[in-house]
């Protein structure tokens, strides 16, 4: 389920990660949720409405900077830059689901990055 998105402050990487964790903890009991379907590919991540056909968001892998999951709060989140936005304007997109599912979502996004890298660098496949 999609909880929402929020702006990630322009801080150094260590501060951003800490602040992001604080914001995720603060949103752990947020009642506002929307059922969605996530589709992963080598191009990126697309978020569809519950019908699986209405496109709500699309994020190219090159615009996704960070992904995390929180087992205790059943959260999956990723940080991305919106198309045509300044590099310093980042948004965190937060989802909740069963513990095993949120970990799988995080791992699917990580695998998308790995496969994309290997396609771009076939010499690294050894």
**What is the predicted pLDDT for the residue at 125?**
72
User: What order of strands is seen across the sheet that includes strand 64-70?
Assistant: 2-8, 90-96, 75-81, 64-70
Check residue 34 and report its DSSP letter: B
Q: Is the pLDDT reported for residue 13 higher than 70? A: no
**What is the predicted pLDDT for the residue at 126?**
63
Neighbours of 68 (CB within 10 A): 18
Residue 73, C-beta contacts closer than 8 angstroms, at least 6 positions apart: 24, 25, 28, 96
Global pTM value = 0.87
Q: Is the pLDDT reported for residue 124 higher than 90? A: no
Q: What's the start-to-end Cα distance of the chain, in Å?
A: 38
**What is the predicted pLDDT for the residue at 11?**
59
Q: And the tokens for 75?
A: 């959260």
Strand partners, 55: 48
Q: Where are the beta strands (DSSP E) in the chain?
A: 2-8, 36-40, 44-49, 55-60, 64-70, 75-81, 90-96
Q: And the tokens for 108?
A: 């699917």
Per-residue pLDDT tens over the stretch 59-114: 999 999 889 999 999 999 999 998 888 877 889 999 999 988 999 999 999 999 99
**What is the predicted pLDDT for the residue at 14?**
66
Per-residue pLDDT tens over the stretch 23-41: 888 888 888 899 999 999 9
């Amino acid at each position: 389920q999609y909880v929402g998105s929020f702006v990630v402050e322009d801080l150094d990487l260590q501060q951003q990660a800490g602040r992001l964790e604080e914001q995720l903890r603060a949103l752990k009991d947020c009642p506002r949720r929307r059922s969605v379907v996530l589709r992963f590919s080598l191009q990126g991540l697309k978020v569809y409405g519950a019908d699986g056909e209405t496109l709500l968001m699309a994020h190219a892998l090159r615009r996704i900077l960070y992904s995390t999951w929180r087992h205790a709060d059943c959260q999956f989140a990723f940080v991305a830059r919106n198309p045509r936005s300044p590099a310093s304007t980042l948004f965190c997109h937060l989802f909740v689901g069963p513990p095993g599912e949120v970990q799988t979502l995080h791992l699917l996004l990580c695998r998308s990055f790995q496969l994309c890298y290997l396609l771009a660098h076939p010499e690294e496949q050894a």
